Amino acid sequence: MAKIIDGKAVAAQIKEELKERTAQLKEKGIEITLAVIQVGKDAASGVYVGNKKKACAYIGIRSLAYELEEGTTQEELLALIDELNGRKDVNGILVQLPLPAHIEEDKVISAICPEKDVDGFHPQSVGALCIGQAGFVSCTPAGIIQLLKRSGIEIAGKECVVIGRSNIVGKPMSLLMLRENATVTIAHSRTENLKEVAKRADILIVAIGRPKMITREYIKEGAVVIDVGIHRKEDHRLCGDVDYDDVMPVCGAITPVPGGVGPMTIAMLMNNCVESIRLQS
Ligand code: NDP
């Protein structure tokens, strides 16, 4: 029977550690502040922003919420980011994505000062990750590394296949696994013989955005399977990109959805907020 990798428990452990570090910083008179900007009223974004605020409150991070109208112009948003970049009392700036269609996400991400880029999406943060320099790392991939390490899963020397090459998950994930000395293959929608490629993996990381696409035919016996996908089914329950029930008897360990990768993303955002103090000093 495969081991279930409990992201909820690992995330809770990380949050406890961060709570302690935040309390120690407060004793030294250092308070951490995260500014969260949301444009428009997208329901899912509202839930994510709410969860981030709750996590901040739990850990002891001050959060400033900017809920802007759907019709906010790009210039207005950039002006707000510019103001927050200049504020000494603001350590992290997060713009909830997606943004309304009239705003260019790339321009907004690039406007955030890299020292405050707690989402790790700024080109400078991505470049730093690529060449092994200090900087913020995108939260979901960073969370997956923590999940593997804290579950006692060896990464160095292992064959890792990442399916998906997005800027926020697949690419930084591959770079992080490389940094941890895995042998990394990146697969995507144009990959030929995906099943055979995936079957090479000791650690298979799936971030494709297609409900239950990965079945046991993609899995090497005993492999570790990390499912990044999140989808809401018609019955309102959540599922991932991996067909959990089908893969379970074949793999060695697997993350469930919900309760796997999801909780780690917010925990690592909180970690980046706490780390911002070090990067800014
Ligand atoms: P994107 O849509 O940006 O990227 C999907 C990637 O999967 C692309 O690189 C695409 O290839 C590849 N892909 C799509 N279809 C196939 C296919 N049939 N075979 C092989 N590769 C395929 O998605 P994200 O990376 O943003 O997200 C992936 C999933 O993870 C989503 O379900 C999302 O909701 C979830 N997610 C979960 C998070 C969490 O906290 N748990 C955080 C972020 C995302 P190509 O480049 O060739 O188009």
42-101: pLDDT as tens digits: 888 899 999 999 999 999 999 999 999 999 999 999 999 999 999 999 999 999 999 999
Residue 235 bears catalytic tag: no
The mean predicted confidence, pLDDT, of the chain is 97
Q: How far away, in angstroms, is 173 Cα from ligand 1 center?
A: 12
Is residue 96 within 8 A of residue 38, CB to CB? The reply is yes
Q: How far away, in angstroms, is 261 Cα from ligand 1 center?
A: 14
Residue 89 bears catalytic tag: no
Domain boundaries in the chain? 29-114, 139-262
Grade residue 144 by pLDDT with cuts at 50, 70 and 90.
very high
Q: Which member of 119, 202, 227, 241 is catalytic? A: 119
Q: Is the pLDDT of residue 226 over 90?
A: yes
Q: Is the pLDDT of residue 205 over 90?
A: yes
Superfamily for domain range 29-114: Leucine Dehydrogenase, chain A, domain 1 (3.40.50.10860)
Architecture (CATH level 2) of domain 139-262? 3-Layer(aba) Sandwich (3.40)
Q: For residue 123, give every residue at least 6 positions away whose Cβ sits within 8 Å of its Cβ, in sequence order, or none.
A: 109, 110
pLDDT at 280: 87
Q: In percent, how much of the chain has pLDDT > 90? A: 95
Is residue 74 within 8 A of residue 108, CB to CB? The reply is yes
pLDDT at 44: 86
Is residue 19 within 8 A of residue 58, CB to CB? The reply is yes
Summarize pLDDT for 235-252 with one digit per residue, the tens: 999 999 999 999 999 999
Cα 164 to Cα 170: distance, rounded to the nearest angstrom: 5
Q: Is the pTM of this model over 0.85?
A: yes
pLDDT at 1: 81
Q: Is the pLDDT of residue 281 over 90?
A: no
Q: Which residue among 228, 238, 255 is best mutated to probe the pocket of ligand 1, counting the most ligand atoms within 8 A of its Cβ? A: 228
